[in-house]
Homo-oligomer: A and B are copies of this chain.
């Protein structure tokens, strides 16, 4: 967790994600808009073969994960200089359906200068490069879910 002139807050945590508190931490007096994305554990997945999930078990390589979160925030700032505050949180541990597991939030003065695009870019990048994995526990036992992205130089 780091605070700069423009706040950048990031962490891997076992604690519940508190959206209101995170939004407050990245809201400046010049901020008028916040775009927030959260991922949630699905109990039922219909894409592909329909399946039910009892819970997900997340694990992280914490110090590298936090460094990669910082990198994603830096990439956002390079691309959208309108972005003021950035919050990135990944919750780990045993997480049940309907639980928020990941959050990315970006604030800006106005809503039309890239704040939605910044949050969207952020969640896509987090899912590519942050070393976190989840094991799905459901009707067919335990399965590690593996991503598809293969990092390249600069990731």
Contact = CB atoms under 8 A, between A and B. Distances in A.
Interface in A11-40: 17-20, 23-24, 27-40
Interface of A: 17-20, 23-24, 27-47, 97-98, 100, 107, 109-111, 116, 119-120, 123
B23 A38 contact: yes
A38 B35 CA distance: 7
Contacts of A36: 19, 34-38
Given A19-B20, A27-B98, A47-B110, A32 B37 contact: no
Given A20-B20, A123-B111, A39 B32 contact: yes
Specify which of A32, A34, A45, A111 lies most central, judged by the most chain B CB atoms within 10 Å of its CB. A32
A34 B27 contact: no
A34 to B, nearest CB: 5
Contacts of A33: 37-40
Contacts of A32: 39-42, 45
Contacts of A98: 24, 27-29, 31
A30 to B, nearest CB: 5
22 contacts: A19-B19, A19-B23, A20-B20, A23-B100, A27-B40, A27-B98, A29-B42, A30-B44, A32-B41, A33-B40, A34-B36, A34-B100, A35-B36, A35-B116, A36-B36, A37-B116, A40-B107, A42-B109, A45-B109, A47-B110, A116-B116, A116-B119
Contacts of A111: 37, 39, 120, 123
